Amino acid sequence: MIGDRSLLDILADVHRLTSAETREVTAHLHELRAPDRSESIESVLAAVWWSYLIEPGDGVAGRLVRQHGMVDALRQAIGGIRSQHDPSRPGEQTSQLREALQRWSPRLGDRRFLDSISSARSLHATLLLPGDESWPTRFSDLAEHAPMCLWSIGRPALLNRARAISIVGARSASSYGLGVCAELVQGCVQHGFTVVSGGAYGIDRQAHRAALSLQGDTVAVLAGGIDRLYPAGNEELLREIADRGCLVAEQAPGTPPTRWRFLQRNRVIAALGVMTVVVEAGRRSGALNTVHHAAQMGRHVAAVPGSVFSVMSAGTNRLIRDGLAELVTGADDCLSLLTAQPELEMEQVQTDGLRADLVRVHDALHPRQAHDALGIARLCGMPLATVRACLNELELLQLAHDRGGGTWLRG
């Protein structure tokens, strides 16, 4: 029976661990948890276990965690998986949950999960959980499809920058596309934007390389585990990003990249940026999938036009023709579109010198759409009491406005 047993006890039972092996796993989990964080080992284990148990973007798991919390949701999932194989315990799950339990069941006792924990330790990876200072507040737009945790190497603070732009495009990019991409990145870096892309060939590689060459910040989102530097031809580049920028993955180390994971990886790329720009893409390019995710989250979507004779610009030209993307020719066009978002103009001026918690609450406020304190706490991933205190401070600084009824706007 699962009951209220600790997750460590359940882990030892599921994987038939000895006392010594359980202590070793516990030690590894302690090392994954940053020293200045207050999460329990149970919470860390739950996040890590979920990242191995499910595929990216599993909405059933996301809803379960939202309803019951990371730890209790996992207990319920494990109990549900076990009850499926016990005819004396008839299930009362919904059809969606039953199907999900069947999906998760094969991985429950897989000892490669334990290998992923030790692998993360050897990589000196940083585990990020919702509510951490570096956790991307924009992930709230993914709702139940948000990652359970993030594995990162490098500078995880880059993941929660207010100024971040996602640049994607064709893997088999033309010289035109590569040239436009380099110029676009140059302008973005000059305006203080972090460049987010997927670490692939073509436009992705050019975006990362251009940012690094200009001493700018860049984030590469991987489709497999943080230890799977794919494609192999970009391994040197990805290692440089790990040294100077940030590599990030949502699945546990050891997870290989697959087509499905590439498609789901695109939602993370789209969520990290305030805008997604497609530089060059054919009609069936995977970059168009990133556009779909960005549009669903209400992000700005832009595309660079190309020759009507180029198959590599057929996708971008169609996006512009169908009104699914704004036409841009460089960074100035992108910035013009984004100036309609006051937070980008104010972020470097009004929040300079503020404490990190005040900046995070300020970022969660909207100039026209009011939220109550609980809604703001959900957006910025902070305790409700802390958010209320920060709102009062921001009001004194004229950076927040109490519009009555317990709702707040950006000041």
Higher per-residue confidence, 57 vs 90: 57
Both structure tokens of 104: 């998760």
pLDDT tens readout for residues 214-234: 999 999 999 999 999 999 999
Q: What angle do CA 320, 315, 231 make, to 5 degrees?
A: 130
Contact residues for 89 (Cβ-Cβ < 8 A; gap 6+): 83
In order of 211, 231, 303, 317, 385, the CA distances from 312 in angstroms are 23, 21, 12, 10, 52
Q: What angle do CA 56, 122, 216 make, to 5 degrees?
A: 70
pLDDT tens readout for residues 66-90: 999 999 999 999 999 887 654 444 4
Question: Across residues 156-162, what is the average pLDDT?
Answer: 93
Domain boundaries 344-410, corresponding CATH code = 1.10.10.10
Strand order in 164-168's β-sheet? Answer: 126-128, 150-154, 246-249, 218-221, 194-197, 164-168, 275-278, 300-303, 326-327
Residues of the chain above pLDDT 90, percent: 61
pLDDT bin (cut points 50, 70, 90) of residue 37 is low
pLDDT the model gives residue 61: 95
- pLDDT at residue 260 greater than cutoff 90: no
pLDDT bin (cut points 50, 70, 90) of residue 98 is confident
Give the integer Cα–Cα distance in Å for 318 and 258.
27
Give the integer Cα–Cα distance in Å for 265 and 262.
5
Give the integer Cα–Cα distance in Å for 307 and 327.
14
Question: Across residues 12-19, what is the average pLDDT?
Answer: 91
pLDDT the model gives residue 104: 92
pLDDT the model gives residue 87: 44
pLDDT bin (cut points 50, 70, 90) of residue 346 is very low
Contact indicator for 161, 217 with CB cutoff of 8 Å: yes
pLDDT the model gives residue 341: 52
Poorest-pLDDT segment among 57-61, 269-273, 278-282, 333-337 = 333-337
Please name the residue that has the structure tokens 């979507």: 301
Higher per-residue confidence, 38 vs 395: 395
Residues of the chain above pLDDT 70, percent: 92
Domain layout of the chain by residue ranges: 7-121, 137-339, 344-410
Sequence letter at residue 72 = D
Both structure tokens of 51: 């990242």
pTM: 0.80
- pLDDT at residue 320 greater than cutoff 90: yes
- pLDDT at residue 203 greater than cutoff 50: yes
Contact indicator for 129, 31 with CB cutoff of 8 Å: no
Please name the residue that has the structure tokens 């299930």: 91
Question: Across residues 184-206, what is the average pLDDT?
Answer: 96
Overall residue count recorded for the chain in this entry: 411
Q: What is the DSSP string of 87-141?
A: TTS-----HHHHHHHHHHHHHHT-THHHHHHHHHHHHTPEEE-TTSTTS-GGGGG
In order of 99, 107, 258, the CA distances from 90 in angstroms are 15, 22, 35
- pLDDT at residue 349 greater than cutoff 50: no
First-last CA distance in the chain? 53
Give the integer Cα–Cα distance in Å for 325 and 278.
9
Could you give the maximum distance between any two Cα atoms of the chain, in Å?
A: 67
Considering the segment(s) 137-339 as one domain, its CATH architecture is: 3-Layer(aba) Sandwich (3.40)
Question: Across residues 321-327, what is the average pLDDT?
Answer: 93
Give the integer Cα–Cα distance in Å for 383 and 297.
24
